[in-house]
Structure 1
């Protein structure tokens, strides 16, 4: 590259950065509302923080600024960054502060008085009672309901259910409904279990709770039937039972036998048709007819081409007869499906109503709300009736500026709360003294929480609603787009735009293809595409002794995981350079993003460890599945029931006791009594037996937390567990201790009670992965939101079923 070319590239980069910075300053301007669509890496968090800082500098009172974020972690990060910025202003020398304020506003240098006011902002924020209101929407709704509990129709002393208690209440409700069905009081449970089976019931309960708004006014059975085009009186009909009525059975049987004896294509019709004619079971007959009359993808066969020409020439009536039978089948199948769907909808609505009523009863008995209740009840409080007007009047006096982060992930009930607050800014006396603003920032393309109720269409619809209200009130409003990425290389952005250019639907409400620009034109990037790994149909069957649910060794997802691990190990072993060549790739540079935590993620972690690559493990883990927690719970169970040989055997093999497999076999095989008796009688294991005797004695009088803490510290259990299982086990151990403390707050602190309590729920914890501790991070796309890494691997891009 010549000197002139380098200078031109630098000038182009500086111009791009200046254009992007100008857009950022416009978005952060404190006078007037703004709605910002911001691409990933375009600096939206910085814009949000700059806007809060400029609002404060323009004279807004800290307690009148409300900043709503999606997660507690985002709220904490924003608070930290804002405090650092304001603190930096307080300590900076005049030249540095002047330069920072010019960068912030793009205006001329401030005078001494303005600089002095900027220095005071940090102290003002610290002295504000309760601090700056940077919180999640759930925390805000919680505060509103605690301020107006009677107006909201709830207990002033309500509690908020954590995930563990919520899971226990769901299990209690399920048991209540099962008992009601057994007693003949309400058969909703039995009817839905007959459709789903036991395994699908927990997933259904979760879906009902996630979509509870749909069941607030459930439709009547007649209305549900009408929606499927059937009458309720016809639900018992079986249209598929009469398919052969009026048919020439002798001729049809002859055709079936002839087709089954013909070539391969005719056999696809003939063999199942013979089955259908031979059975007296109506369900088996309908299933066989479906295979005969439909193709493998479920579409009807083309009877102008089937059966084959040779067979049709010999049997001219074959195609017309089969076409007529197919038409009757398709009509009957469609009506049977409609009747079945209507019947299931009735069963679902009846069960959902009973489930939600019982769930509300359980919460009401405890004076408890869950997180969805917080938002829903706050929304109803602020939008319905005279009490809502009163609450809005009182709140309206305390909020002048609302800032909403990650708006693309805001659910309808959450928008309801935000709109109720913002509409007051421009209604009647709400448009009172001075500037009152709404600032919203988000990226429709990053909307990944639809399963939690987020609707990307509301991003554009709410923007249009706000713009109309602003125009009616003659209030300034800016709709801006931040397209320039300060994070990613041009090569990465070009690939992203190209990938979605042909299929932009669903990325935004308008369906427009994405457009990204790079601020750093000279930043080197690289995209590697690996070929698809097909399923190996010729792979041998796994040994009969393998577990039936174990994946086959040739499973493509396992093969891919092992290949990725080998490639990552090669990078680190050979000193592979990062794009641009400034340094070698390190384990902490690498982030692997998967769609779900399945065999691909698990095998990748195992394979990386086998290659000696430092790996942080999964971003979420269920503590009941963690080996360290299982070992500690086994210790507690043994302390309560020392005669349980299986529990003791598992405990002896754990790091807490450290027996080898051979030592355990030598101890257990010749025993005449219990394993515990054999252990106590063997002098070779006197130290282990003494440790377990101490645990048994402690179980009689120590609280659950004290019992586990004693095992971990006084007995050295934590050190032994971490030495065997790695530092990633520490998160689960700490969460077990936290759960023990939580249990003691609400229940009689017995070890037996705690074991029963923790066994009923499934506790999942999120591990902090933002730093990675110098290790490869394997996490879901959802868990990686907001994180960055020099090397990102996407191994889970195929559509359809895994594997």
Structure 2
């Protein structure tokens, strides 16, 4: 991170005055991070402010890290920078450059490092809450060891809570609750029902605490819907009575229809007459018949013009009937909502209470708990002041970044921290305390995470009023005539984006309407850099008549227009690289890292664009965020694990075989997998004699042999880098971007093992329980095209930005989550049908839709302001669009702002442009380069070889075996190696087993680890191992003083010796090292031992001589076939001491 300090200009300089509390509205690209950092520096330069007095709260971890790096880099540079440079930095941020200020500036870096925690507290609000609760767990009501929940743990706990509730209700005979849950599942689907139950759990304040809802809930639900608490069939019938229903107007409508005399009119008159003759209860039941007789499905009067000729006041009468009839129908619909919602919310409440108890019992908290408990802890009238006193730092200055994305619960923490800034002793002790808030309502786009920009406005009003009241009281009591109110400033000068692009942004806001963005007032015009800037509108990609003929395309899950859109974007980007001219920072040609592709939502289109770019040879980073289970490498590896856990899982086995891990084609799978009905695929393949199938079966047998005793992460590691070479195969087929999801899967397996008792089936269940996300660092892929959502691009920028799905319809999906306010609470409603959304429910839905639409436009603002020099807008249309983008799509609203001139385009057919291209001139990288000075002679003289540290010599590879047996066939060699490993393992494990038990334990171990080998082979290995252990001649080597599998490392004559000794006997006078040999034809005497084996033992002896100087070193070979022990004489060991003809290789054993 650069330590450069940029001069502050205009309101930037006013905002960093440390004596003021400031509310700063900063448009995109106006340098708010620079202002935040400068504000921190100005505070630190004050004599009465210590680093621990400052708290910075950010929205993301990346934002916190960036601010900390900026501040620390500047402070570190100030320690030793020249006085004139330091003075320049101080003046740039509005501080004085007096010698005493410079002296303090040079000490700030050490002060920051010395403060509690090792640095400035710059945190996300969740991290701060977690730290606070960790410091005061008992006061917060937490049991010791409470931890924050991960997503998968949350899902597993939710499943367990629901399962326990179902069992409990079944045992108690709670048929109403079971029936309510069944109805929820039928209406919403199983996943939808679970999602809604979690919504109830998240609405904790509705069920727990003062004034919480208690069962029975029927009365409160009816009141919530705008009904009387006892509303029911009687109240519905009352609305149909003559005293409440406008029967006079209804009779007039009947008379008009009768006078009309047509078949339709007479039928309507009969329906009205029958309805009027019925009882109020019967009228309520037949209200639909009356509605159909008088109105169309759209609610318009039938035959209005004809009836108006018969009765001029018919329109007024029919409108009066509509009002009365709508009241009946709405009342009936709301009663139906209450009848459905009452048991549903009862189930939701029971689940919420059980969920809260389970978290408390398990010692777990989620993000909402962190915020809620921290706010409650600080706001507690008795504990709050004591907590703040006991903190190892007094917080006097609070800075809040991205405040528009802070929700009400998070604001409650900030309020609790700042309450005594403006009241009581906190404002009378003469100490400076400030609040600094920076945000931009136009960039509030995280409503789906529970944030609301209205909280931003309300918080500003609260701070404005609190500070105004404080200042007025101080002046009235003459305590502080200089008391300051909240300073409200705005930043509109962009240092990121060209003026032409910002001019188009301003036109967009004006055309759409600032109120559509949720703004109370029109924003000030943006001011940008005076350099070329371009906005381009590409012609939308339309459906083609033959699109339905492309059903066999490998990516036909996406509509054909979107596939063509991805193709064209890839072609467009490839043509831009090296040819599109950029001017910021010097004229140059665009590279892959200069381009960012944005989509509105995380859908398949983003992944397809990445795939098309990769196929076109364009360097591209993967999608910024993926569900961990979605990438193909993860699916392939998880399919292998599922097969290992259940070999009869035909689908997983087939998936593994056609994956890059095995490389089968679909045709091979069909050829070799065709079998009789009911025969498992695994059993069928095992009976095959085809060489390719046998090779695959052997690989799978290796996997199954390891699955019973290997941990999940070890099994994955073996598949990736062991004999399967899975990583190499996956990367070769899927590209380098496969590495990230592979690594994240390994990390997930490690995380699982750290928090659970690891097992293969347990890991699979844990993995499937949640949708853990793979998040790439959006700023790490330098030199690569970035493809991401607009939400993911927040805080980023690029010279060239492409909006890939600007034709998307914001109204394409219905409002799914509706909540009704109940005082300070919010009560979630289950999924309702269209006919049930009336009255207050309809109002709540419309408010939700309005809020979503406003965020839709704010998302457009964020997307457009990511561009520094060029913005490209495009999209694909579907069959339903009929050649025109949806009226409220970004494309439809931006198109009228473009010039009418149409330019032919080789890729898109047509395009329109606003602004200007930076064409012509000389590319800085290609011309006008300064002539380099001639270099001195020493700079061009070749540097001699650098001394290399000695590489380890593995004793087992200390020389070539020139006299060994003839090489075995590969399959026999592999079997022999495995037998040798198994015998080594037995000789390592059995010495610690009591003699009478050795045979049984060894036989069981061989059955587990070599069950696929013939019984005769296992018995032969057992006999050889027991024969060695029963021989009294070398009993000491297997006694209690001997060690097994001992790693050795030492430097002998400048050569590093590293290896593992099979047995090591350590005695006061001597050291004896022995190595097991499982050769099929062992030597009969010392003279027949191969020279490489002698060298191996000589290396061991030399290393041990260095480790244990002064002791006698003996080396021996134990051949298990005979068995026999051959001791190597000292003179022979000395003759083959390392350093003579040793071959340096990597570590062996």
Q: What band does the TM-score fall into relative to the shorter chain?
A: 0.7 to 0.9
- Number of the residue aligned with 2:451: 454
Are positions 1:776 and 2:772 aligned together? no
Secondary structure of 1:597's counterpart equals coil
- 1:230-379 to structure 2, matched below 5 A, reads 230-235=227-232, 298=298, 300-303=299-302, 306=303, 309=306, 329-379=325-375
Report the alpha carbon displacement of residue 683 of structure 1 after superposing the two structures with TM. Answer: 2.5
- Number of the residue aligned with 1:85: 74
Query: What is the rounded CA distance, in whole Å, between the counterparts of 2:384 and 2:255 in structure 1?
Result: 75
- Number of the residue aligned with 2:710: 702
- Number of the residue aligned with 2:799: 790
More helix by proportion, 1 or 2? 1
- Number of the residue aligned with 2:914: none
Contact 2:132 2:374 in 1 (8 A): yes
Are positions 1:490 and 2:482 aligned together? no
- Number of the residue aligned with 1:9: none
Are positions 1:200 and 2:195 aligned together? no
Report the alpha carbon displacement of residue 479 of structure 1 after superposing the two structures with TM. Answer: 2.0
Are positions 1:478 and 2:487 aligned together? yes
Secondary structure of 1:135's counterpart equals strand
Report the alpha carbon displacement of residue 759 of structure 1 after superposing the two structures with TM. Answer: 1.9
Residue 123 and residue 188 in structure 1: after superposition, are their counterparts in 2 closer, same or farther (change >3 A)? same
Residue 229 and residue 408 in structure 1: after superposition, are their counterparts in 2 closer, same or farther (change >3 A)? closer
Are positions 1:226 and 2:223 aligned together? yes
Secondary structure of 1:152's counterpart equals coil
1:31-78 Cα offsets, whole Å, 9 max, x none, are 332221111111111111111122222232222211111111211122
- Number of the residue aligned with 2:93: 104
Query: What is the rounded CA distance, in whole Å, between the counterparts of 1:324 and 1:433 in structure 2?
Result: 68
Secondary structure of 2:514's counterpart equals coil
Residue 387 and residue 348 in structure 1: after superposition, are their counterparts in 2 closer, same or farther (change >3 A)? farther
Query: What is the rounded CA distance, in whole Å, between the counterparts of 1:566 and 1:42 in structure 2?
Result: 33
Report the alpha carbon displacement of residue 550 of structure 1 after superposing the two structures with TM. Answer: 7.3
Contact 1:181 1:187 in 2 (8 A): no
Contact 2:301 2:318 in 1 (8 A): no
- Number of the residue aligned with 1:720: 729
Residue 175 and residue 516 in structure 1: after superposition, are their counterparts in 2 closer, same or farther (change >3 A)? farther
Residue 440 and residue 396 in structure 1: after superposition, are their counterparts in 2 closer, same or farther (change >3 A)? farther
Contact 2:38 2:93 in 1 (8 A): yes
Secondary structure of 2:778's counterpart equals coil
Are positions 1:505 and 2:493 aligned together? no
Q: Residue 711 of structure 1 is aligned with which of 719, 722, 725?
A: 719
Q: Residue 407 of structure 1 is aligned with which of 374, 378, 403?
A: 403
Contact 1:505 1:512 in 2 (8 A): yes
Contact 1:382 1:389 in 2 (8 A): yes
Contact 1:70 1:136 in 2 (8 A): yes
Are positions 1:70 and 2:73 aligned together? no
Contact 1:145 1:374 in 2 (8 A): yes
Residue 44 and residue 176 in structure 1: after superposition, are their counterparts in 2 closer, same or farther (change >3 A)? same
Are positions 1:624 and 2:623 aligned together? no
Query: What is the rounded CA distance, in whole Å, between the counterparts of 1:544 and 1:287 in structure 2?
Result: 47
The higher radius of gyration belongs to 2
Query: What is the rounded CA distance, in whole Å, between the counterparts of 1:641 and 1:48 in structure 2?
Result: 56
Gapped regions of structure 2 (runs ≥ 5): 1-5, 242-246, 273-282, 475-479, 814-877, 879-1149
Contact 1:180 1:187 in 2 (8 A): no
Contact 2:685 2:693 in 1 (8 A): yes
Secondary structure of 1:625's counterpart equals coil
Are positions 1:394 and 2:405 aligned together? no
Q: Residue 799 of structure 1 is aligned with which of 810, 817, 822?
A: 810
- Number of the residue aligned with 1:278: none
Report the alpha carbon displacement of residue 710 of structure 1 after superposing the two structures with TM. Answer: 1.7
Query: What is the rounded CA distance, in whole Å, between the counterparts of 1:290 and 1:180 in structure 2?
Result: 46
Are positions 1:690 and 2:698 aligned together? yes
1:309-367 Cα offsets, whole Å, 9 max, x none, are 5x998999999998798666534322222223333443453233212101101101101
> Is 743-752 or 323-332 further displaced after alignment?
323-332
Secondary structure of 1:399's counterpart equals coil
Secondary structure of 1:362's counterpart equals helix
1:670-710 Cα offsets, whole Å, 9 max, x none, are 68965445555432345433332222222121111111112
Contact 2:610 2:622 in 1 (8 A): yes
Secondary structure of 1:592's counterpart equals strand
Contact 1:557 1:599 in 2 (8 A): no
- 1:526-545 to structure 2, matched below 5 A, reads 526-530=534-538, 542=548
Residue 77 and residue 237 in structure 1: after superposition, are their counterparts in 2 closer, same or farther (change >3 A)? farther
- Number of the residue aligned with 1:601: 606
Contact 1:408 1:442 in 2 (8 A): yes
Contact 1:193 1:201 in 2 (8 A): no
More strand by proportion, 1 or 2? 2
Query: What is the rounded CA distance, in whole Å, between the counterparts of 1:550 and 1:286 in structure 2?
Result: 48
Query: What is the rounded CA distance, in whole Å, between the counterparts of 2:226 and 2:466 in structure 1?
Result: 42
Count of residues paired in the alignment: 759
Report the alpha carbon displacement of residue 551 of structure 1 after superposing the two structures with TM. Answer: 6.2
- Number of the residue aligned with 1:756: 765
- 1:179-218 to structure 2, matched below 5 A, reads 179-183=167-171, 184-185=173-174, 187-188=176-177, 190-191=179-180, 193-195=182-184, 196-198=187-189, 199-216=191-208, 217-218=212-213
Residue 784 and residue 287 in structure 1: after superposition, are their counterparts in 2 closer, same or farther (change >3 A)? farther
Query: What is the rounded CA distance, in whole Å, between the counterparts of 1:550 and 1:285 in structure 2?
Result: 49
Report the alpha carbon displacement of residue 22 of structure 1 after superposing the two structures with TM. Answer: 3.3
Residue 335 and residue 288 in structure 1: after superposition, are their counterparts in 2 closer, same or farther (change >3 A)? same
Secondary structure of 2:438's counterpart equals strand
- Number of the residue aligned with 1:151: 139
Secondary structure of 2:418's counterpart equals helix
Secondary structure of 1:151's counterpart equals coil
Gapped regions of structure 1 (runs ≥ 5): 1-16, 261-265, 274-281
Query: What is the rounded CA distance, in whole Å, between the counterparts of 1:286 and 1:451 in structure 2?
Result: 39
Secondary structure of 2:787's counterpart equals strand
Contact 1:67 1:133 in 2 (8 A): yes
1:484-532 Cα offsets, whole Å, 9 max, x none, are 1111111222222222235222646x61122243252x22211223466
Are positions 1:514 and 2:523 aligned together? yes
Residue 389 and residue 91 in structure 1: after superposition, are their counterparts in 2 closer, same or farther (change >3 A)? closer
Residue 694 and residue 417 in structure 1: after superposition, are their counterparts in 2 closer, same or farther (change >3 A)? same
Query: What is the rounded CA distance, in whole Å, between the counterparts of 1:119 and 1:632 in structure 2?
Result: 54
Contact 1:589 1:776 in 2 (8 A): yes
Report the alpha carbon displacement of residue 209 of structure 1 after superposing the two structures with TM. Answer: 4.3
